[in-house]
Every structure is written in C-alpha cells, then in structure tokens.
C-alpha cells in the first residue's frame, strides 16, 4: 500500500510501546518552565520547553518526549528519532487512547524547540492541506484514520506531482528536508497523526503552493493555523446542513 523514494519512506511495525499522554494544546507560544515537569535535565540541556501537563498519568508521554530528545542528540539524530516514533506508533490504538480521539482540526503540541517539534495533528473528515514544504526533516506516524499524501517536486516548469503515499494507522512516513507534499483525509471521520520535525516548525518561514495554479506563496505557523480554523468552520457548516 506504500512505497518509498528519496523524499519519503514508510514503515509499519508490530512492536508495542506504552504511551500515556494528553498534554495541553493551549496557545502555540505558551510553554511551561522545564523545571516544572518530569523531563530530565539531561534531555533538556538545549533549552527545549515542554507544554503544560494536565494529569499525573502523563509520565509515559514525557518519557516518549525525553526519548525523542535524547535520540536527537545521537550521531544520526534523524534515524534515532525515527526509531522512537516507530515504536511509539506501532500500537496505534494505545497512541489514540493516550492522545485522545480527535474532535476538530488542530495541533496538540507536545514540544517546541530549535532542534525538535512534536505535535499531534488532527484532520477533519475529508480535509485537504495544499502543497507545502517544511524545510526540515519530518516524520508522520498515523494513529487513527488514513492520510493520503501527494509528493511534489520542483521541475523546470514548476511544481509536478511525483508520487503518492497512502498512510494507515500504524504507518510512519519520512519526509526529507526538500520534501513537498499535499495531504488529504479521504475518510468520513477524523484522522490523527503524531508529527516530529527536526527544527522549530512554527518559527520557520516556508512555502505553500496554490492548489489550482501551483503558484508558490509564503507560509508559516499562522497560515497553517488559519487552514485548520477554516476546516473546522466547514465541518460545522456540514453538520448544520445534515
Ligand atoms: Fe506537511
């Protein structure tokens, strides 16, 4: 159901890793003092900040984040972080239980730092994300629903679709630094994925491409937030019609 090329790699794993999480979404820049949580100083010596913890039972998710932070300091951080995510997403039902079922489009942010960003992203039924880049390596691990990716490449005459990937619960996708993709949730229900980026996702000025003309436009965290806001508005309109 999935293939790999230079830009993207997908894997499915059978291992189980227990995750217990439910950290606060809150406003993007609102982070708690690292001194106030259970992440070890060793994992936080690069100034990483963890979002507020709502329940004491979240220590397992904190362990997951700590594992990601430590992996990101290894000789090959991209591969090491991928292994942590593969283990974490290998039981999607546990991950779904830990994160909580998605109820609207949005990002549940667990970690933001210069080196690493970790969040859960929820797509409303049949939501689309136009072509965009990240300008940093990225992983997507699906824990509920399905996410179809079109991979794009810059060619002489502009952007061209180069490949398609269908991700199901338990799949992990790798997007390299130069990857450009657009995303569709083809299902009549929510899709949820855990995303890890090798940098500060929200502080990076990036590009997106108009879905009809494929004209390149600037994008950033605010633009992404607006896309989610509109998806939620559309979902509410559909519910009213129904
Ligand atoms: Fe993306």
pLDDT one-digit tens code per residue, 97-130: 888 899 999 998 999 999 999 999 999 999 999 9
In a domain, 176, yes or no: yes
C-alpha 41 – ligand 1 centre gap (Å): 30
If one counts every other C-beta atom within 10 angstroms of the C-beta of residue 121, the result is: 21
In a domain, 2, yes or no: no
Which among 188, 148, 185 has a CA at the least distance from the CA of 10?
Answer: 148
Please give the pLDDT value at position 221. 73
C-alpha 184 – ligand 1 centre gap (Å): 11
The torsion angles phi and psi of 46, rounded to 5 degrees, stand at -110, 15
Which among 107, 112, 64 has a CA at the least distance from the CA of 88?
Answer: 64
Q: How many domains does the chain divide into?
A: 1
In a domain, 233, yes or no: yes
**pTM (two decimals):** 0.77
- Look at 58 and 188; give whichever has higher pLDDT: 188
In a domain, 31, yes or no: yes
Residue range 198-212: mean pLDDT, rounded: 92
pLDDT band at 50 (very low <50, low <70, confident <90, very high): low
Q: Give yes or no for a contact between 32 and 51, defined as CB atoms under 8 angstroms apart.
A: yes
In a domain, 18, yes or no: yes
In a domain, 152, yes or no: yes
In a domain, 13, yes or no: yes
As a whole number of angstroms, the distance between CA 12 and CA 147 comes to: 14
Q: HEC states along 155-198?
A: ECCEEEEEEEEEEECCEEEEECCCCEEEEECCCCCCEEEEEEEC
In a domain, 1, yes or no: no
pLDDT band at 226 (very low <50, low <70, confident <90, very high): confident
**175 lies in which domain range?**
8-241
C-alpha 120 – ligand 1 centre gap (Å): 12
Q: What is the CATH number of the domain that holds 209?
A: 2.60.120.10
Quick one: 156 exposed, middle or buried, by C-beta within 10 A (0-12, 13-18, 19+)?
Answer: exposed
C-alpha 137 – ligand 1 centre gap (Å): 10
Which among 89, 181, 197 has a CA at the least distance from the CA of 142?
Answer: 89
C-alpha 208 – ligand 1 centre gap (Å): 10
């Amino acid at each position: 159901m999935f293939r790999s090329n230079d830009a993207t790699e997908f894997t499915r794993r059978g291992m189980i890793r227990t995750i217990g999480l439910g950290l606060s979404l809150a406003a993007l820049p609102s982070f708690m003092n690292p001194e106030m949580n259970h992440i070890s100083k060793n994992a936080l010596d690069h100034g990483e900040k963890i979002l507020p913890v709502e329940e004491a039972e979240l220590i397992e998710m904190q362990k997951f984040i700590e594992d990601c932070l430590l992996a990101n300091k290894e000789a090959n951080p991209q591969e090491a972080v991928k292994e942590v995510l593969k283990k974490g997403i290998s039981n999607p039902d546990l991950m779904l239980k830990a994160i909580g079922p998605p109820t609207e489009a949005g990002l549940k942010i667990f970690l933001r730092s210069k080196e690493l960003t970790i969040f859960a992203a929820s797509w409303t039924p049949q939501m689309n994300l136009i072509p965009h880049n990240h300008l940093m390596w990225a992983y997507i691990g699906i824990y509920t629903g399905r996410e179809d990716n079109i991979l794009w490449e810059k060619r002489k005459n502009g952007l061209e679709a180069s490949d398609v990937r269908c991700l199901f619960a338990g799949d992990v996708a790798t997007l390299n630094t130069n990857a450009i993709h657009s995303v569709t949730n083809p299902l009549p229900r929510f899709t949820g994925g855990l995303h890890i980026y090798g940098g500060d996702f929200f502080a990076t000025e990036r590009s997106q491409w108009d879905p009809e003309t494929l004209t390149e436009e600037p994008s950033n965290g605010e633009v992404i937030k607006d896309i989610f806001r509109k998806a939620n508005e559309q979902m509410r309109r559909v519910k009213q019609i129904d």
